[in-house]
Every structure is written in C-alpha cells, then in structure tokens.
Amino acid sequence: MVLASGLGGAFPVLANSFPAKVPVPADNPMTPQKVALGKQLYFDPRLSLSGDFSCDTCHRVMGNGSDGLPLSFGVMGRVDVPRHTPTVYNAAFNTVQFWDGRAKSLEDQAKGPLMNPVEMGMPNAKAIVDRLEQIPGYRKEFGLVFGQKDSISLEHVVQAIATYERTLITPDSPYDRYMAGDKKAMNTAAVAGMHDLHTMGCAACHAGMMFDNPGTKMGTGFFQKFPLQAHNQECVAYVHKYDLDKDPGRFNVTKNPADEHDFKVPSLRNVALRAPYFHNGSVASLPTAVRIMAACQLGKSLSDKQVHDIVAFLGDLTGKFPKETMPRLPQTPGKAIMMQVAKLETASEALNNPK
Amino acid sequence: MVLASGLGGAFPVLANSFPAKVPVPADNPMTPQKVALGKQLYFDPRLSLSGDFSCDTCHRVMGNGSDGLPLSFGVMGRVDVPRHTPTVYNAAFNTVQFWDGRAKSLEDQAKGPLMNPVEMGMPNAKAIVDRLEQIPGYRKEFGLVFGQKDSISLEHVVQAIATYERTLITPDSPYDRYMAGDKKAMNTAAVAGMHDLHTMGCAACHAGMMFDNPGTKMGTGFFQKFPLQAHNQECVAYVHKYDLDKDPGRFNVTKNPADEHDFKVPSLRNVALRAPYFHNGSVASLPTAVRIMAACQLGKSLSDKQVHDIVAFLGDLTGKFPKETMPRLPQTPGKAIMMQVAKLETASEALNNPK
C-alpha cells in the first residue's frame, strides 16, 4: 500500500505493518536461556552502584517502557539526568540508540546507563563483573549461556540484556490490523489522520514500519534537526515555552556544527502512552506535541480537526504488550553484600568528585 | 510431633509444618481482582513522592522480599532509613509488622513507608489519593474491586496491597517435607541442628509454624530484648563489633522503659537467603548470626559442629517462591504527570524542612 504524496513526492512509502521479525546481530544470537538471563539482569538492582537501581527503574517493563517522568532520577537521588528516558519497547527496531544516536546497537546502549555516574553509576566494567562474580547463581548461568569458564564480562552482560530487550515488542496495533485488511480496526478520524500524516509531510521522517526512519539501515541512524523551522512564528513561541533549543543533540557526539540540535527521530509506535514528550520531556499532551511538530518541523499550523484526526491515528499505533513472567534473582552471599557496601562510599565519592 | 525439651521444659512445641492457610482479616476478604489491583499498586512507583520508587524497590518480590542491603536507600537518595528492610515473603504470617511491631496488620504496615519521608515520601493520604485519581485505569479498577463511586482511598490502597502480599508465601521447604514424612528431605546435620534449636533454647522465641512466636495471636506480637544476655563476655564483643545496642527498639513505640531494645522476633523461614542480619543489617553471615544469637540471647557459646548443624537446618527452612506474572500498570495522562512534577519540588522541600 503506497500512501506517499505531498512534499514533492520526495518522502518514502509507509511500510505496511509491524515487522515480522526483530533484527538480531549475527554475533549475538537469541536463545531462550540468554533471554532468561538478560531478564534477570534487566531487573537486577545490583547492577547499580547503590544496589537499588535497575534498568527497569527508568525503563519500566510493567508500564510504557519509560518511567513517565519528564527527566528520570539517577542512582542515589541524582537529579542531573539530562534527557527524557526513551522507551525500551520496540527499541530493538531503532536504527541507533539514545536521543543523540551515540550507540549503534542495543548492546552498546546498555553499557551507557550502567556506567553513567548520573544513571546507574557503576565506576567501570571491572566493578560490574566483580559484583556479578560474587553471585554464584550468575556464575552458573553465564557459564551455561556463554561457555563454562570466566563467562562473566561486560560484553556478555550487555549481550544478555539486549537479547531480553529484543522480546519487548508490541505488535498488533489497530493500525496493523487495518493494514492487514480489517478496515473496521480504525475509525474515520484515524484514517483521516493517517492520510494527514502523509500529505502534510510528517512521514518525511516518521516513515517505515516503526515510523522512525525512511528506510535507514540498522546502526546508521536517522536524525533530524529540532526545531527545523526555528523562525516560524508559532514555533518561536513553543521553543520559548518548552525550552526546546537548549540541547545541542547529536553535536555532542560528532562535534560537527551541522549536527547541532539533531536528534534521532523517535518511533511513533505507542506514542499515545509515552507522555511527556521530546528530548527534555517538557510537553505533557499529545495534541500539543503534534502542533509543535507541525510548526517547528514543517512550518505549518494545524486546524483543530487535523490535530484531532492525527491524535486519533497515533492512538491506533498502540500495540499489544507482551505478558511477562517475573524472573527470580540469584542470591548475593552476605559477605559479598558487606564488601559492596564498604566500597559504596568510596565509589560514590570518586564519582561525584572526578579527578 | 513434640520436640520441646531443655530450658526447664518451659518453651513451646514446634508446630509441624507451613500453615495451610494465610490469615485474612474479616474486613478485607481476598478476591482475585483485589490481588491483581494490589500487585499493580505494589509495583507502582507513582505511589512515591518522586514517582520512581515502589514498595518493590525495597521489598523485592523477584529476590528474597528485601533488597539485600544492610539499610535501604529512601526516595530521592535518602540515606537515613534507620532499620534493615524486612522481607515481604511470609509477612502475612507475622503477628505484628515492623521491627518494633508498631503495625498490627499488613494493612497498617503499608501506610508506614508510603508516608515516611525517608522511604516513599508521600506527604499525606490526600496526596496518594490525588495521585491515583489522576490515573483513569485505577479509577476504574478501584471501582470494580471496592464499589463504583469514590473508591480510591488510603484504606482501599493498603487493603489491596495487603491482599497481594498475602499471596507472597513460600511453602514446601525441605523441613516441611521432612515433617510431612519424607525423612530424606533433611540430612543428618540438619536433623541434628533442628534438635539443637530446641534443646538449646532458641525455640523459646523461634517457635510455631513460622519460627517467630510461641503461640502469639495475630495483632499481638511476640517481642524479645536484644541483646538479652548483655553481660555475657562473648556477647559484649559482638555488641561492640556490630553496634547492636544503639536502637531503642519497641521503646520508641510504647515509651515504656521495659520495652527498651525489644524487637519483634523474626521468622526463620528463608533465613538463609536473608543476609545481612538483624535490625541494623550489620551481620553478613548466617553462622555469625547464629553465634551472636546463642551468646546474646541464651548466654551460650556454640561449638563449630553446633553452628554447622543449625545452619544446615536453617537452610532447610527455605521454601518455594511463587511464580509471578508481571502486572501492567495503567497510564498517567501527560497533564497529570506535569502537575505532579510541579508539586514535587514544593513537597520535597516541605518534607525536608518540616515546620
């Protein structure tokens, strides 16, 4: 089904449903055992400096895959997390990870928060491995998944976590059912909104099966400047109100002035559940976010009907979340707990006062 | 089966296996819908001031029901939580709750951390109700569980959480199988340790099906002074090393000098998984905890064999943990998120600078 039109016909075709398979890197094949280990690690607060902060603390699997806060708190109450937490759901389909695309894969992404002093705060890879080596259950499970000897490494930790994350996908939205032939799956407003999305130019960026890139390859990333139409009158007001021009975005990664204020285009899947919006989590409502996108990216002002229709369509991009069982986490022996606590103060001090 | 002996025959009989039913208060009957709602609330970080801290943050259902830390961190990095977090597993069988027994039921207990400034930090009951009222999914679910109109109240919140907690029980330990007739379920050392537990006097307090009280009624509580044999030479050294005499215990609740250093006797179920030990979480290893109990409560010094046998027995008190499915948490609309965040700074300031 080809819906592309408008904007000189230059933007790509809307792919027609949720991907049949999740992309899996050749060097990290999925196995049920690796998924199970990755799930344990994902929910394990011992992967943080304080021992009470897991991947799930910010990327809530039981919720929308983020924590619903504009900006998350970091380990031990840190309040300097700079950007809104993206959802883990469907992150497996992102061509790059983080708002500024600084990781090429889920594996690379997972290393970031683990060792970021304002997130999980582990000082280095060795500290992570040391922590897990203290837990006999993990020594055994890493051995079974990755080989029998010395299997606990940062690479294996992030491979397991990424493997679990590849199961966190949400197929079967009303839109997918509509595209599969069930014309009752979306109402008239949503269908009108879907057409608006294309005729107005949103799909220049929000294209493809995940509505986040026009055919970009995994690991490459699709970026866009935000705000792009910074001189549009309506946009100027939004930028001022929501503080939208403060973050240098991808420039921080490349140091190329052309990348200033460039961000990875986020997927529109489940966007109706993902308030608050944008890299700084500053915008509460989806209708406002849609108006901001139109003004600041397309230089267009939307009618109330257009906003209503587009929001109706975006609501129909909410998929079905997987039914998850809880992992059981292996036990830390008492002695190892006390060693961790003794190190905590030193490590915390070092992180807060880097040399 | 009667094992009582020693200590003048004055201490009670060991009951013979894990309770067949969990005690349920007449005014809070269990229903599957209430369990499901309680599970959502238990895992919901929006019940904390910061929105990132749930019951489960300290009482980890995926682990041993505590967080394995000597002392937990509170909301927003608070480091002044005064006592070690007790496990939620089998808490349904506790005759009273908290180390100092200040709550008579799971329902009463749940109110404590929610509104404790150093734990979840909600300023008052109204703030909790307001937060949940913003979430349409909860308005609907509370209505279905508790009645159709204005069903969100602090009482209903804690009733639902307590109802879920009554499902977090761990039957079928090797000891229970042994007592049910499977004489191979415990080895010789464990059987010897079981007899030691009785002949030496441990069971004066660690009695009953949960090994935490000699027949005390629900809501009454069974307390013991710790250290009880404070002048025993071996105990003096432990008290000094592990800082065991600083906490006034139940005195803080009753203001009765006779209750100074009194603590609720904890269950021995799953104790092998529950390091670190005691009200201040100061002792890493179970063998050391056993020696401290013998010296400080019974005035006795144990042989290495006695410690080995008792630890073997305690290991056989580890039951089977339930297989849990994850709840799905209902969505907060964006506007409500922003209201919460705007209130956060004010509330946080008020909590940290009480009038």
The domain tally of chain A equals 2
Say if A76 is an interface residue toward chain B (CB within 8 Å). Answer: yes
Domain CATH code at residue A296: 1.10.760.10
pLDDT of residue A149: 81
Residues A208, A236 within the same domain: yes
Please, which pLDDT band fits residue B221 given cuts at 50, 70 and 90?
A: very high
Please, which pLDDT band fits residue A7 given cuts at 50, 70 and 90?
A: very low
Residues B183, B153 within the same domain: no
Q: Is residue A39 part of a domain?
A: yes
Say if B349 is an interface residue toward chain A (CB within 8 Å). Answer: no
* Structure confidence by residue, pLDDT tens digits, A45-62: 999 999 999 999 999 999
Residues B266, B183 within the same domain: yes
Q: Is residue A36 part of a domain?
A: yes
Angle, to 10 degrees, between the axis of helix B32-42 and the axis of helix B154-165?
100
* b/e burial code for range A268-294 (CB count within 10 A of at least 16 → b): bbbbbbbbbbbbbbbbbbbbbbbbbbb
Mean pLDDT across A102-117:
96
Interchain pair B329, A60: CB under 8 A: yes
pLDDT of residue B343: 72
Residues A210, A164 within the same domain: no
pLDDT of residue A3: 39
Please, which pLDDT band fits residue B4 given cuts at 50, 70 and 90?
A: very low
- Tell me the C-alpha distance between B60 and A328, whole Å: 10
pLDDT of residue B24: 97
Residues A164, A216 within the same domain: no
pLDDT of residue B335: 79
Q: What distance in Å separates residue B125's CA from the closest CA in chain A?
A: 22
Residues B188, B82 within the same domain: no
Q: What's chain B's average pLDDT?
A: 91
Interchain pair B76, A73: CB under 8 A: yes
Residues B136, B183 within the same domain: no
- Tell me the C-alpha distance between B85 and B302, whole Å: 28
Chain B contact set for A62 (CB, 8 A): 43, 326-329
Confirm if A164 and A30 have CB atoms less than 8 A apart: no
The ipTM (two decimal places) reads 0.92
Q: Is residue A27 part of a domain?
A: no
Say if B329 is an interface residue toward chain A (CB within 8 Å). Answer: yes
Interchain pair A276, B73: CB under 8 A: no
Interchain pair B52, A72: CB under 8 A: yes
Confirm if B137 and B333 have CB atoms less than 8 A apart: no
pLDDT of residue B340: 74
Amino acid code (one letter) for B349:
E
Q: Is residue A197 part of a domain?
A: yes
Mean pLDDT across B182-202:
96
Residues B274, B347 within the same domain: no
Say if A284 is an interface residue toward chain B (CB within 8 Å). Answer: yes
Q: Is the pLDDT of residue B330 over 70?
A: yes
Nearest CA to B61 among A37, A329, A337? A329
Q: Is residue A274 part of a domain?
A: yes
Mean pLDDT across A110-125:
94
- Tell me the C-alpha distance between B337 and A276, whole Å: 7
Which of B285, B324, B337 minimises the CB distance to A276? Answer: B337
Q: Is residue B25 part of a domain?
A: no
Interface test with A, best of B39, B72, B73 (most A CBs within 10 A): B73
Interchain pair A286, B76: CB under 8 A: no
Which of A79, A325, A337 minimises the CB distance to B325? Answer: A325
Q: How far is CA B177 from CA A185, B18, B67, in A?
A: 54, 10, 28
Residues B189, B300 within the same domain: yes
Mean pLDDT across A31-39:
98
Q: Which residue of A has its CA nearest to B276?
A: A334
Q: What distance in Å separates residue A13's CA from the closest CA in chain B?
A: 31
Confirm if A128 and A333 have CB atoms less than 8 A apart: no
Q: Which one-letter DSSP state was computed for residue B12? A: P
- Tell me the C-alpha distance between B41 and B144, whole Å: 15
Mean pLDDT across A29-33:
97
Residues A239, A145 within the same domain: no
Phi, psi for B182 (deg, rounded to 5): -85, 90
- Tokens 């990095």 found at: B77
- Tell me the C-alpha distance between A65 and B100, whole Å: 38
* CA A66 distance to own-chain centroid: 8
- Per-range mean pLDDT, top range of A221-235, A328-342, B15-29, B332-346: A221-235
Residues A47, A12 within the same domain: no
Interchain pair B68, A321: CB under 8 A: no
Q: Which domain holds residue A299?
A: 7-18+170-315
Which of B45, B326, B334 minimises the CB distance to A286? Answer: B334
The better pLDDT of the pair A44, B150 is held by A44
Q: Which one-letter DSSP state was computed for residue A212? A: S
Lowest mean pLDDT among A7-16, A345-354, B206-215: A7-16
Interchain pair A327, B62: CB under 8 A: yes
Chain B contact set for A78 (CB, 8 A): 77
Q: Is residue B251 part of a domain?
A: yes
- Tell me the C-alpha distance between B186 and B178, whole Å: 6
* Active-site pick, A107, A119, A141, A165: A119
Mean pLDDT across B243-248:
96
pLDDT of residue B2: 36
Residues B262, B250 within the same domain: yes
Say if A180 is an interface residue toward chain B (CB within 8 Å). Answer: no
Confirm if A166 and A160 have CB atoms less than 8 A apart: no
Q: Is residue B179 part of a domain?
A: yes
Interface test with B, best of A37, A73, A348 (most B CBs within 10 A): A73
Q: Is the pLDDT of residue B8 over 50?
A: no
